[in-house]
């Protein structure tokens, strides 16, 4: 939790003493929760989140003339919520409408009884100092070839892989029968208990049949493997079938989405656009040491992915939650 402490200065309004409310931010949008403490019990407060900053001066209501300042910017996009505190003057809520494409940069609150304004609280993560080269074993940008520009683990094209405009440069364009196969040399192989992280941008154009985005398995039967699969019934999962991080819902069609899949030495976790979708149970089973090739665009010989895949990266560690949020732009730090 990124906690912001403010001084509890007392102000006198209508002969009563009130404490300046404070806001805490837990998480990062779209899964952020916002808590306000110290407002007037059982009265309304206004929460304003701004994507690009700017100011808002109220023209109506009990606090008309009050200015909320979310930072210096020429333009802003605000999300305003007016809600009631509990009997202690506290409230916690998640602004569900803050989608990934409309993430706010800061939040401020206003007690509509006392007109006390909380200090601005940042909601974004500073990605500039994140070291994505730490533990990075391989990076396949998909720019008209299957080269690994970091570790030399060049892929082998299987079938007819095309290329199209990606998030950064070009991207692999898979037709459901094509893939990129990567030999699991010792430096990119993992034993049980050894952590790793996969990350990539995906653009889904598939059908209702099961489709495999990437994996490490032989054939398409049971056995020692792990994979990412989108099921025909909309149930997807990451990890081995016997111990997977499963969630309901296929990726949205026709839009880019950043996918991060981790193994922390025990459990598999799946993140989409920086948000944790699912975590498996304890997976202390030997699904990592098999000698199968890695494949991007399918898993073994299973039905493959229809759509684009860009900026595929592999680390020998589990990225932190903040790093996972920042990883969508990791390529800008590596080039």
Note down pLDDT in tens along the chain; length 335 residues.
333 322 222 222 333 345 689 998 876 665 678 899 999 999 999 888 876 567 878 888 899 999 888 766 545 556 778 889 999 999 998 876 665 455 677 888 999 999 999 988 887 777 777 899 999 999 999 999 999 999 999 999 999 999 999 999 999 999 999 999 999 898 898 877 889 999 999 999 988 778 999 999 888 877 668 889 987 677 889 988 888 899 887 788 899 999 999 999 899 999 998 888 999 988 876 566 577 899 999 999 999 999 999 999 999 999 998 899 888 877 655 55
Torsion of CA 300, 301, 304, 310, to 10 degrees: 40
∠ CA 214-218-219, nearest 5°, is 95
221 exposure class (CB count in 10 Å sphere: 0-12, 13-18, 19+): exposed
Tokens of 142: 């998909």
Phi and psi, residue 24, nearest 5°: -115, 145
Q: How many CB atoms lie within 10 A of CB 150?
A: 16
Domains of the chain: 10-122 (2.60.40), 136-334 (2.60.120.200)
Bridge partner list, 162: 173
Phi and psi, residue 326, nearest 5°: -75, -20
Phi and psi, residue 329, nearest 5°: -110, 20
**Within 13 Å, how many C-alpha atoms sit on residue 80's CB side?**
14
With beta carbons less than 8 A apart as the criterion, state whether 268 and 281 touch. no
């Amino acid at each position: 939790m990124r906690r912001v402490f403010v001084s509890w200065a007392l102000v006198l309004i209508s002969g009563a003493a009130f404490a300046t409310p404070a806001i805490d931010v837990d998480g990062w949008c779209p899964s952020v929760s916002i808590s306000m403490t110290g407002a007037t019990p059982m009265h309304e407060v206004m929460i304003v989140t701004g994507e690009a900053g700017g100011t808002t001066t109220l023209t109506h209501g009990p606090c008309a003339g009050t200015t909320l300042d979310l930072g210096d910017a020429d333009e802003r996009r605000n999300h305003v919520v007016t809600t009631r505190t509990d009997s202690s003057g506290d409230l916690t809520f998640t602004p569900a409408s803050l989608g990934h494409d409309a993430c706010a940069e800061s939040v401020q609150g206003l007690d509509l009884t006392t007109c006390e304004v909380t200090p601005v609280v940042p909601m974004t993560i500073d990605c500039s100092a994140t070291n994505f080269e730490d533990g990075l074993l391989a990076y396949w940008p998909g720019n008209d070839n299957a080269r690994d520009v970091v570790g030399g683990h060049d892929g082998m094209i299987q079938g007819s892989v095309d290329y199209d405009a990606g998030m950064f440069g070009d991207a692999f364009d898979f037709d459901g029968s094509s893939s990129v196969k990567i030999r699991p040399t010792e430096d990119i192989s993992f034993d049980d208990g050894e952590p790793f992280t996969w990350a990539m941008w995906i653009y889904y154009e598939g059908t209702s049949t099961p489709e495999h985005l990437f994996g490490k398995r032989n054939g398409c039967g049971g056995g020692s493997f792990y994979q990412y699969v989108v099921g025909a019934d909309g149930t997807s999962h990451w990890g081995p079938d016997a111990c997977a991080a499963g969630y309901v819902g296929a990726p949205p069609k026709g839009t880019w989405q950043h996918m991060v899949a981790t193994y922390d030495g025990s459990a598999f976790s799946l993140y989409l656009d920086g948000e944790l979708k699912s975590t498996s149970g304890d997976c202390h089973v030997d699904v990592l040491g098999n000698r199968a090739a890695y494949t991007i665009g399918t898993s073994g010989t299973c039905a493959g992915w229809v759509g684009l895949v860009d900026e595929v990266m592999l680390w020998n560690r589990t990225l932190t939650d903040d790093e996972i949020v920042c990883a969508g732009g990791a390529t800008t730090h590596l080039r």
